[in-house]
Structure 1
Amino acid sequence: MSQYRSAWQRLGTFMNDRGDVNYSAMCGEAFIYHLIGSRKFENLDRWEQDIIYCTNVLTEFLETGMIKFRRGQKFYDLWGAVGQTMQAYIAEKKAFGLSSGTLTAYHKDLQHFLAYLDTHDIADVHAITATVVISYTATLGFCTPHIRHRRLSIVKGFLRYLYDRGLAAEDGSPLVPRDQYSKQPVLPSTYTRDEIAALIAAIDRSSPKGKRDYAMVLITARLGLRATDVCDLGFENLRWEDSVIILNQRKTGERIELPLLADVGAALIDYLKYGRPVSELPFIFLHVNPPYDRLNRTTLHSIVSLYLRRAGIVFEKERRHGPHALRHSLAGVLLAKKTPVPVIAAVLGHRSTESARFYLRIDLQALRQCALKVPAVPPAFYVGRSSR
């Protein structure tokens, strides 16, 4: 508590000096850069790194209303004059509504580019020449295709930003080579109806933890909610009088209304009456042991994996074994029942039917109807080949 208080007092002094009345994420970022100056994060003293952590926690609580158990993400510092320009570029991207995960990727990859410039004594954006860009791209040869593609794309966007804002005399983005990267589609991991039934049956509902786990797994398997939405589920989302669950999805922001099925409702009542610890938090699912805080999606992933193993269900390395696999499995069940794609999209909360078409590749019965007959091989083909 003393550490948080001390860090936020420094932050308050910084805000007073700037005349800031309300705290914001950009205010916190400005304070961090004011603290570290031109130094690198790894060269800071421990107390300075702790101040950065406390500031990030405050931003996290401001934007999400909660604090994760694990330490916040590493702060990817962007130092010097070039780093300040990169910060401005990222701030512009943030204004466009990019997600926090995407912005973290921008910080990380631009820091990688900045480190390369730093080792070559380039401290001004005007010194980023064609030779520098080509030499940097050559260093990415040992990266995975995905990482290389991402870094090239982000650096290319940054170089275009420099030219568009008049910070560079020439547009350096065409110098970034095309890497011909294409993300290969992966088949969704699914489980059969019997496997899902075995998974649910493996949960011992005699304990508070079992009651909670049973309700969470049942909601995921029956309704196909994403793990984050299950963990965020609050009392206000349950409309008992109408037998529906209404919520705004974390990933898409889209409002979704799902039926409160009888077995799901019974599981929720059993947990709320006999399993949930006493707490004023608005979240339904809480930790079994104090502090009774909300769960996160990694915990739900561990819960699903645990009961898959207890049920004796073998999952290969290629088949995922978390809550998202249960979501995919629900889509498979709906496809087997000849449910129209628009209905599946509505059930799973997709913005468009195009997203739901992703699951068509697991409908083997329908795919067999699309298979073309293999033409017969003429007998002349085998003439003279029997001795080979």
Structure 2
Amino acid sequence: MQTSPAPARAVIAGGGIGGLAAAVALHRRGWHVTVLERAASLAPVGAGIGLAPNALRALDVIGLGDEVRALAAWQGDGGLRTPAGRWLSRTDARAAASRFGGPLVLLHRATLIGLLADRLPDGALRTASPAALADRGTAGGRPARITTPDGELEADLLVAADGIDSALRPALFPGHPGPSYTGMTTWRLVTTVPGLSFAPHETWGRGGLWGTQPMKDGRIYAYAAAAAPEHAHAPDAEAEHAELMRRFGAWHQPIPEILAATPAEAVLRHDVRHLDRPLPAHHRGRTALLGDAAHAMAPTLGQGGNQAIEDGVVLAHHLAPGADVGPGLAAYSADRLPRTSAVVAKAARVARLAVLTSAPAVAARGALMGLAGRLGPGLALRTFDGIADWRPPARPYADRAPGHPGTRPATPRTDRPSPGR
């Protein structure tokens, strides 16, 4: 009796947004997937994530775009302010959606993680499973091998999605220097302030910035960044909250009100590191790198998670189960390395601009931003040309022919709620 061959097996090291997106995309292509997450549970940090049209189109490919749009807050009109509250420039959500083919939306990271994890088959996700590379494998030859607490796994494809401190990246590229400090530290929080009304905004001051965004469930996602020495964190949560108050408590409302309403334990702080020197490739042998493991970047363009989602969808597009992974991984690197390197570099430039400490430089920056605002939203939106307008190599289900299961209109609906509503 003839037996069918075993399905091609992909092992994904890392259960974050990029790793789960890759797992879902590969599963939909017919791969047998196993996700190894070193943490004891999928408990993402208590923060929001903005998803730009490029990431939403990638999520459309794996059937999640509309669900995310329905659960998320659509970004409304807002803008850029000074610490005294003066508007430097205004954003036009409809102009942005028209330019880039869709809205920017915001939801909690836990929501996105849950949606992705729910699309995996039973038993595919293993928590408390740190992974170590035993053999990266060879395309067309021996499989990749990875060591876990439960033993060794073989894989036709190994995906290193284990974050900026990836354990697998140094084994693939031992000569690469790894991540470096950007000079910027960040704070993030999700909180509730009953009755608070505000327009979404970023506020840029001397040596730092603050952002405030509404979430669909009424909570507020806020973030801050400042120039600071690396590892200069406060000794405990209360002291960290006091540091935020010291830096931003005298800035315009609603910033002081949000800080006053936020419990100290809700504040998360992280120094921002990035891979400012690109890797020579995003794969070696049968092993692919994606997300922060491949191209960690400053958060100033809001593209870290977005680029990781793109990675997962593009990787699956190039890798048909049962085919030689060599050409597919080479195509993945060729697609992703130039794009992500450019986004990393642009995010670094914006980070340096955002945390200027020289008073004359800050004044000049404000004058230029004010001028750009007076010239209309198109000038500011150019920052995201070539980023937010990206389209995946596989056509999203939203763009398929009428009558295809899961089809939705390819043109915007006139009865769609306005952005931010």
Q: TM-score, normalised by structure 2?
A: 0.21
Q: Which has the higher contact order (CA 8 A, sep 6+)?
A: 2
**Structure in which a larger fraction of residues adopt helix:** 1
